[in-house]
Amino acid sequence: MGSLSTYFTSSVGRKQIVAVTGLLLILFVIGHLAGNLLIFLGPEAFNNYAKKLAGLRPGLYLVEVGLCFVFVVHFFVTGVLVYENYLARNTQYGVNAAKGQRSWATRLMPYTGTLLLVFVVYHLLDFTFIDKHGHRSILADGNSYGLYGVVVNAFADPGHSTFYIAAMMALGLHLSHGVESFIQTFGFNHPRYTPMIKTFSHIFALVISFAYSSIPVYILLNYPKVP
């Protein structure tokens, strides 16, 4: 019991917790993106996907609770590590050197993480806990298109889309550091492969952030805003 307690309170243990929970969240981000991209196939494909997900309840509730737990643990433990690193950088040893070695993605982690927390709450209120067949689902032709219509009407608003894209850029920065950090946390460091890992993490982050951002951009260019 003591060793387990020591693991959770040690810096190495906390980093591994952040890495594992981060990996689980990355898998969710990939799966969620795959579903979201169905919007390019039209309302029938997108709404059928949403209906199939809804049909998985009540089992889906367990997944959502588990995902929420993982998110909270990841955010909280990351916050603890950020605070510990902040205290360490305020010591007299190598403050400037340590700062110079940190990438922009690493330096912005507390801010991108906070923005993503705000975004997740906003996103749930925006697309999950709403009436998917109310007035927000009605497009310019006067017909209700369910969740597809809700998403289109949301992103037809430039301000709404701008916030979403900003959040996806924050996600990209977060991922570019997170993927690399996950691999290094578990000891996969090698002079030959580390540059390749960094390149992969940057490319992966760009693909994810741009793929998510392509949805509001597509809607802005193809759908008028409904009053």
Separation CA 14–CA 8 (nearest Å): 6
Where would I find the H helices in 10-124? 11-36, 43-54, 59-89, 95-101, 104-107, 109-123
Dump pLDDT digits (tens) for 59-91: 888 999 999 999 999 989 988 887 787 777 666
CATH architecture of 2-222: Up-down Bundle (1.20)
Query: Phi first, then psi: what are they for 165, rounded to 5°?
Result: -65, -40
Q: Of 107-121, 127-141, 160-174, 187-201, where does the model show the most confidence?
A: 160-174
